[in-house]
């Protein structure tokens, strides 16, 4: 890549990248050892109308999975390179469950559950000028609530919604067992996805039922602590709070050291 990768994400809150997909992408970049710099915005929603997206090689690419596929091929840095077909299939199924189902429980727990929403929204919209803060906040909430309703999750009772989350977590806990990572002795793409979603809630200072559900699974909590210590050792939250991360194998390190 000719120029440093630019990662567009939401501004961090609670010292964390609060988009699970954004945290997945940044964690993967650290796992792969690819340098990047962040640009944070609520408004720049990328080529697919979503965050995260990246700009590199004169291209703008949206969707964490497509971005990662592109970068792995482009740089030859692919933590999944040695996985066999069975492990790849298992990883895909785990990511699909976490990203296409558990993610909606995260949305529900933050944007609809009254035990979390007031404190969560106060933090998310803190940087919006106060005369328009209320309007932006309710517009954003309306849009998220519509997406959870259209997906179907919020048509259930709260007890059913958190019951579904518990089932996802139990499945993850069983699959992880006593292994350090989901697919083997080293972390892979799938771990960045699971971490991006679980750590986002586990280390969030606003507690709520979803966090309590995660806390019931010791091996998942230990797993998040383990990955946080590798990828985000200095962060107070789940990670993604630094404006800049320079991979150790990049030339800029020498400039930083001599600065």
Ligand X SMILES: N[C@@H](CCC(=O)N[C@@H](CS)C(=O)NCC(=O)O)C(=O)O
**Binding site residues, ligand X, CB under 6 A:** 19-21, 45, 49-52, 63-65
E strands, 25-178, are 36-40, 53-56, 59-62
> CB of residue 142 vs ligand X: minimum separation in angstroms?
12
In the bound state with ligand X, the residue whose beta carbon lies nearer, of 206 and 246, is: 206
Which lies closer to ligand X via its Cβ, residue 136 or residue 246?
Answer: 136
The Cα-based distances of 110 to 96, 218, 249 in angstroms read 21, 23, 38
Q: How many CB atoms lie within 10 A of CB 202?
A: 19
Task: Give the nearer residue to ligand X in terms of CB position, either 106 or 169.
Answer: 106
Q: How far is the CB of 106 from ligand X (least distance, A)?
A: 8
Report which DSSP code applies to 13. B
Report the residue number, 52 or 91, with the smaller CB distance to ligand X: 52
Residue 197 C-beta: closest distance to ligand X, Å: 10
| Cis amide leading into 202 (omega within 30) | no
Q: Considering the complex, what minimum distance in angstroms separates the CB of residue 65 from ligand X?
A: 5
* 3-state DSSP assignment of residue 258: helix
Cβ at position 53, least distance to ligand X in Å: 8
For residue 140, report the phi and psi dihedrals to the nearest 5 degrees.
-65, -40
Q: What is the dihedral of CA 114, 120, 122, 127, to 10 degrees?
A: -150
Q: Which is nearer to ligand X, 19 or 192 (CB)?
A: 19
């Amino acid at each position: 890549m000719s120029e440093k990768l630019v990662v567009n994400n939401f501004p961090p809150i609670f010292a964390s990248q609060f988009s699970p997909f954004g945290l997945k992408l940044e964690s993967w970049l650290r796992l792969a050892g690819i340098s990047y710099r962040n640009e944070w915005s609520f408004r720049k929603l990328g080529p697919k109308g979503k965050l995260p997206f990246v700009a590199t090689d004169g291209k703008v690419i949206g969707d964490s999975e497509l971005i990662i596929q592109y970068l792995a091929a482009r740089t030859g840095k692919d933590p999944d390179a040695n996985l066999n077909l069975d492990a790849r299939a298992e990883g895909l199924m785990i990511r699909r469950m976490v990203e296409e189902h558990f993610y909606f429980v995260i949305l529900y727990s933050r944007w609809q559950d009254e035990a979390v929403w007031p404190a969560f929204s106060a933090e998310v919209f803190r940087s919006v000028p106060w005369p328009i803060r209320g309007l932006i906040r309710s517009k954003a909430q309306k849009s998220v609530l519509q997406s959870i309703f259209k997906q179907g999750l919020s048509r259930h009772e709260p007890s059913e919604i958190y019951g579904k989350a518990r089932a996802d977590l139990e499945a993850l806990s069983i699959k992880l067992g006593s292994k350090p990572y989901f697919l083997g002795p080293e972390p892979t793409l799938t771990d960045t996805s699971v971490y991006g979603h679980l750590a986002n809630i586990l280390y969030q200072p606003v507690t709520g039922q979803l966090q309590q559900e995660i806390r019931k699974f010791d091996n998942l909590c230990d797993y998040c602590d383990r990955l946080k210590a590798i990828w985000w050792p200095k962060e107070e939250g789940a990670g993604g709070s630094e404006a800049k991360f320079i991979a150790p194998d990049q030339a800029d390190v020498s400039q930083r050291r001599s600065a």
